[in-house]
Amino acid sequence: MIRKPKRNLLFGITIGLPIVAIVAYRLFFPGIPFLLDYMKPSNFEGTYSVRERRIDADGRTVPLRIYTPSDKIPKGTILLVHGVHNDGYYEKRLIHFTTTLAHNGFRVVTPDIDDLKQYHIVERAVKDINAAALWLLNDSGLIGQTDKFALWGISFAGGLCLSLCATPRLRDRISSSFSFGGHGDLDRTMQYLMTGETQGEHLRPHVYGQAVLVRRFADRLVPAPQVFPLQQMIYEYLRGNYKIARQRSAQSQKESRTLFQLIFRRDVDTLGAILKSKVGKPVTAKALSAVKGPAPACAVFLLHGSSDNVIPRGELETLKEWAVQSEKSKVYALVSPVISHVELEENPSSQLMEYVRIIRFWNELLRNS
């Protein structure tokens, strides 16, 4: 009579603890270890190795960096593409992201896409990403003949990577694709940067995105002799070389100087109106907008900041509607207020439940990669 409850309690603990452990694992791993590492200011030296390669892409050279976990078999292979940034695959945030993945057991390949480094979102960038993916599959020796890899892109590269997922040579070899703050329709994203209008709402666009448009459409904004000087001026501004950009502005013609002053003062309303009147409705190549092509067969992961004003959150909804058209694709989408444009905010205690949602998102993403 006395021992029976103890036996029942012991039996309950024996059965219950594994169940609790399984539930906890499903809810929080491997997301928690990864995110804790990601939010630490560490480079994880000694836990990974890195080497560089150069591959051919239609006569152009594309450099690659390959990060490999030390002393362990990689859990998976990820092709991770940087966004529109002059530092390319040397961009500090990208390196921290990449080394965190390698520290957590993933092999990561990062191509250096020259057009994205020059702030050009063009078809050639897609071709270079495609060349890196085909090299990984066919010539790298990193994965087997039937193995799959994950294709991830940051910011505008997220949309470009998704546009490749359904191409015949890659469709059946991609395990998952991840767009972090990416676009679905480039034309509509450019239109937003001009008007601030997104799915019936008004959100003042970020001057960074407008500056990229000024550089892209310089030939429509200023007389021909000013086009190249304006592009160089904006290039220095985007790189953060403000002193050089101001010096060039002071030496420039009136039309170029006016545009630069609007950018430097962050007068996005006036600048947007000028872009809209001079450029009109942008029309870019179909390959630059994932939603203009077929939906992929792989798992699709979409993560976006709710107040993102470089690429608005409505682009995630567009990508989600596009991706679910495929019967073979599972879609995981999360819009969060603790994410800005492709960055996590650093105050987890203030919005704990949001971080729980992000952890669960990363659980699924890492398990599918």
Per-residue confidence at 41, pLDDT binned at 50, 70, 90? confident
pLDDT at 136 over 90: yes
Give the DSSP H or E segment for 12: helix 3-28
- Alpha-carbon distances, residue 11 vs 3, 15, 25, 64, 90 (angstroms): 12, 6, 22, 55, 55
pLDDT at 9 over 70: no
Mean pLDDT of 54-80: 95
Per-residue confidence at 21, pLDDT binned at 50, 70, 90? very low
Mean pLDDT of 349-355: 74
The answer to whether residues 296 and 238 touch, using CB atoms and an 8 Å cutoff, is: no
Lookup result for tokens 């592009």:
231
Angle of CA points 41, 96, 53, to nearest 5°: 150
pLDDT at 350 over 60: no
Domains along the chain? 37-185+289-367 (3.40.50.1820), 195-279 (no CATH)
Phi-psi region of 288 (alpha: psi -120 to 50; beta: other; left: phi over 0): alpha
Mean pLDDT of 26-38: 82
Query: Which of 177, 189, 236 is CA-nearest to residue 368?
Result: 177
DSSP 349: G
Q: Where are the strands (E) in the chain, listed by range?
A: 48-57, 60-69, 77-81, 107-111, 149-154, 174-180, 197-198, 201-202, 299-305, 331-336
Per-residue confidence at 107, pLDDT binned at 50, 70, 90? very high
DSSP assignments along 248-302, one per residue: HHHTS-HHHHHHHHHHHTT-HHHHHHHHHHHH-S----GGG-GGGSPPPSSEEEE
Q: Express each pLDDT in 193-202 by its tens digit.
A: 999 999 888 9
Give the separation between CA 300 and CA 295, rounded to whole angstroms: 10
* Structural tokens at position 344: 């996590």
Q: Express each pLDDT in 124-134 by its tens digit.
A: 999 999 999 99
pLDDT for position 27: 60
pLDDT at 80 over 60: yes
Mean pLDDT of 329-358: 83
Give the separation between CA 243 and CA 352, rounded to whole angstroms: 41
The answer to whether residues 163 and 126 touch, using CB atoms and an 8 Å cutoff, is: yes
Q: Express each pLDDT in 231-268 by its tens digit.
A: 999 999 999 999 999 999 999 999 999 999 999 999 99
- Please provide the average confidence, as pLDDT, over all residues in the chain: 91
Mean pLDDT of 43-70: 94
The answer to whether residues 357 and 27 touch, using CB atoms and an 8 Å cutoff, is: no
pLDDT at 97 over 80: yes
Give the DSSP H or E segment for 134: helix 123-138
* Structural tokens at position 72: 């362990």
Pairing of the two strands 201-202 and 197-198: antiparallel
Mean pLDDT of 28-43: 84
Give the separation between CA 136 and CA 163, rounded to whole angstroms: 18
pLDDT for position 20: 43
Mean pLDDT of 325-336: 93
pLDDT for position 355: 85
Q: Express each pLDDT in 162-205 by its tens digit.
A: 999 999 999 999 999 999 999 999 999 999 999 999 988 899 99
The neighbouring-strand residues paired with 176 are 150, 299
pLDDT at 24 over 90: no
Give the separation between CA 153 and CA 9, rounded to whole angstroms: 50
Give the separation between CA 14 and CA 230, rounded to whole angstroms: 71
What is the pTM assigned to this prediction? 0.92
Give the DSSP H or E segment for 227: helix 224-238
pLDDT for position 12: 55
* Structural tokens at position 300: 């699709």
